[in-house]
């Protein structure tokens, strides 16, 4: 690869836009809590939290798949495919919102889908060489949140604020769609040789040995006079489904907990849980950015060492995660009886998430089997969160909700460890 990271000024611009959006979201939540009080804010937080998984459903898989497939030879035509996915998602969300009578949950659904759609669109802008659109798009979303808080200050309630957020989010997407210009020309031969093979992103093991009789694109090289076939939409759908599973079910687990809080009818605990999740999300988002920056280097090392090396490194990481996380979580579960323990539990949950994110990165970069294992472990995580949350939220409130997230992270780590034991001989990643 000729370059691993974007230029510093581009990275700074991207972080500025995303940072402004995060600050507007989190600070806006605190401001709304102060303006409305816990009861009205709980109605807003429950609607937003229960449908937050829609953002990941629309953005996570499509964005990762677009970033993996579109830059490759034969993948340029998929840019229009991903744009069509965005338009379809926006239309479905708008129709569902209108059919619901533009109610609280209908408006929250439009906001969640709109943010996810904007994430995919700005990724397509970056791929087309226009990274500044990423920052401008998220600055637009941040401005929408600021206007919504101002409307609440003037007297708007949760329903009115969500309607304003929905309208503003749709306006940002409309501008992004109107100005997006996609090229159908394939990338240059030099850039294609720097990229990973399409099959690696769509399902083939990263360590599969090259076959002299196979098309050159499969082994990551391009024959001088060959024209690789375009990546099919079926392959793109597979990439979307597998790469997006972990993020989607992670957010869906939090949404299930919000539903448990709504059933328990504990608005004060719901508001506390919302604030705790905001802190967790802020830290995990920052960690996710760091992992995205490191991902090219990790992928190159795994490509040289083979998938078994990635599995070996994943096992070592998971053994440490479980060995330190399990006894600590049990201690909090036994001793935690006051609200202070909710913050202790939050610290443990953040650390477990960070460790599992590293393990998942190694697995997903190792090839098709690793990606399937990561997805399967995430589904097990959701089951653990739902089961323990249904028991703990009525008993322990916000502390119980965070404890359920801890149980989910431990279940994910245990499942990834069990699945990676299928790998071959122990190996280690090269140091250079």
Size (the chain), residues: 432
CA distances to 297, 307, 348, 384 from 280, rounded to whole Å, are 26, 31, 10, 19
Domain assignment present for 200? no
> Structure tokens of 138?
């998220």
Q: Token pair for residue 96?
A: 């569902």
Classify the C-alpha dihedral 359-362-365-369 as positive or negative: negative
Q: How far apart are CA 431 and CA 403, in angstroms?
A: 37
CB 318 within 8 A of CB 420: yes
Burial 32-42 (b: 16+ CB within 10 A, else e): bbebbebebbb
Last-in-domain residue among 163, 186, 209: 186
Q: 180 and 67: one domain?
A: yes
Q: What whole-number distance in Å separates Cα of residue 240 and Cα of residue 41? A: 34
Question: Would residue 214 count as lying in a domain?
Answer: no
Claim to verify: residue 176 and residue 296 sit in the same structural domain: no
Residue 153 pLDDT: 92
Is the CB of residue 119 less than 8 Å from the CB of residue 113?
no
Residues 159 and 251 in one domain: no
Q: Is residue 195 part of a domain?
A: no
Q: How confident is the model at residue 187, as a pLDDT?
A: 42
SS (H, E, C) 307-355: HHHHHHHHHHHHHHHHHHHHHHHHHHHHHCCCCHHHHHHHHHHHHHHHH
Inside any domain, residue 235: no
Instruction: Report the C-alpha gap between 254 and 404 in whole angstroms.
Output: 9
Q: Dihedral sign, CA of 366, 368, 369, 370?
A: positive
Domain check: are 133 and 63 in the same one? Answer: yes
Rg of the chain on CA atoms, in Å: 22
The pLDDT tens digits along the chain (432 residues) read 334 456 778 778 878 888 899 899 889 988 999 999 888 888 898 888 888 888 888 988 888 777 766 766 666 778 889 999 999 999 999 998 888 776 888 999 999 999 999 999 988 888 787 888 888 999 999 999 999 999 999 988 999 999 999 999 999 999 999 998 875 444 443 333 333 333 333 333 333 333 333 333 323 333 344 454 555 778 778 878 887 887 778 778 888 999 898 888 888 888 888 889 888 988 888 787 667 656 546 655 776 777 788 888 899 999 999 998 888 888 776 766 666 778 888 999 999 999 998 898 888 777 678 878 888 999 999 999 999 998 888 888 888 889 899 999 999 999 999 998 865 544 445 444
According to the model, what pLDDT value does residue 148 have?
93
Check whether residue 249 and residue 177 sit in a common domain. no
Judgement on whether residues 160 and 256 belong to the same structural domain of the protein? no
Answer whether 61's CB lies under 8 Å from 240's CB: yes
Same domain, 180 and 282: no
Same domain, 377 and 267: yes
Q: How far apart (Å, rounded) are the C-alpha atoms in residues 385 and 377?
A: 12
- Of 168, 186, 204, which residue is a domain's last? 186
CA dihedral 260, 264, 269, 272 (to 10 degrees): 20
Whether residue 233 is contained in a domain is answered as no
In a domain, 170, yes or no: yes
Which among 156, 186, 216 is the end of a domain?
186
pLDDT at 338: 64
* Per-residue pLDDT at 329: 80
Nearest to 298 by CA among 283, 310, 289: 310
Give the SS3 label for residue 223. coil
Q: Give the Cα separation of 251 and 405 in Å (integer).
A: 11
Closest of 320, 322, 347 to residue 332, by C-alpha: 347
What is the C-alpha to C-alpha distance for residues 149 and 160, in angstroms, rounded to an integer?
11
Q: Is residue 425 part of a domain?
A: no
Number of domains in the chain: 2
Q: Are residues 262 and 181 in the same domain?
A: no
**Could you tell me if 129 and 258 lie in one domain?**
no
Q: Are residues 163 and 255 in the same domain?
A: no
- Residue 182 shares a structural domain with residue 249: no
Q: Which residue range(s) make up the domain with 273? A: 244-420
Q: DSSP letters along 381-395, please?
A: HHHHHHHHHHHHHHH
Its pTM stands at: 0.67
Phi, psi of 272 (to 5 degrees): -65, -40
Q: Is 25 a member of any domain?
A: yes
């Amino acid at each position: 690869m000729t370059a691993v990271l974007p230029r510093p000024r581009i990275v700074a611009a991207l972080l500025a836009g995303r940072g402004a959006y995060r600050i507007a979201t989190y600070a806006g939540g605190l401001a709304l809590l102060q303006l409305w009080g816990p009861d009205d804010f709980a109605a807003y937080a429950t609607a937003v939290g229960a449908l937050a998984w829609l953002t990941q459903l629309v953005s996570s898989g499509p964005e990762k798949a677009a970033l993996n497939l579109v830059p490759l030879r034969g993948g340029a035509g998929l840019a229009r495919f991903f744009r069509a996915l965005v338009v379809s998602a926006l239309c479905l969300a708008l129709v569902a919102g209108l059919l619901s009578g533009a109610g609280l949950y209908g408006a929250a659904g439009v906001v969640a889908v709109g943010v996810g759609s904007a994430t995919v669109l700005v990724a397509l802008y970056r791929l087309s060489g226009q990274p500044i659109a990423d920052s401008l798009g998220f600055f637009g979303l941040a401005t929408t949140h600021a206007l919504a808080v101002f409307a609440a200050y003037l007297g708007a309630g949760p329903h009115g604020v969500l309607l304003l957020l929905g309208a503003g989010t749709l306006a940002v997407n409309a501008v992004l769609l109107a100005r997006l210009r996609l090229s159908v020309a394939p990338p240059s031969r030099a850039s294609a040789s720097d990229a990973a093979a399409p099959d690696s992103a769509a399902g083939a093991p990263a360590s599969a040995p090259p076959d002299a009789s196979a098309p050159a694109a499969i082994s990551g090289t391009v024959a001088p006079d060959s024209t690789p076939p375009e990546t099919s939409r079926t392959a793109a759908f597979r990439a979307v489904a597998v790469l997006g599973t972990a993020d989607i079910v992670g957010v869906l687990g939090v949404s299930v907990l919000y539903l448990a809080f709504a059933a328990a009818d504990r608005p004060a605990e719901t508001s506390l849980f919302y604030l705790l999740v905001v802190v967790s999300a802020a830290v995990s988002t920052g960690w996710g950015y760091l992992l995205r920056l490191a991902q090219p280097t990790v992928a190159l090392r795994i490509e040289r060492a083979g998938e078994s090396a990635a599995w070996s490194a994943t096992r070592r990481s998971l053994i440490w995660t479980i060995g330190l996380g399990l006894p600590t979580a049990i201690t909090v579960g036994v001793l935690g009886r006051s609200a202070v323990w909710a913050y202790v539990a939050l610290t443990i949950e953040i650390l477990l998430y960070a460790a599992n994110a590293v393990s998942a990165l190694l697995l997903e970069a190792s090839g098709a089997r690793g990606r399937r294992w990561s997805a399967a472990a995430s589904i097990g995580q959701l089951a653990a969160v739902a089961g323990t949350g249904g028991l703990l939220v009525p008993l322990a409130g916000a502390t119980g909700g965070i404890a359920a997230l801890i149980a989910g992270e431990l279940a994910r780590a245990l499942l990834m460890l069990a699945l990676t034991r299928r790998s071959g001989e122990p190996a280690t990643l090269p140091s250079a």
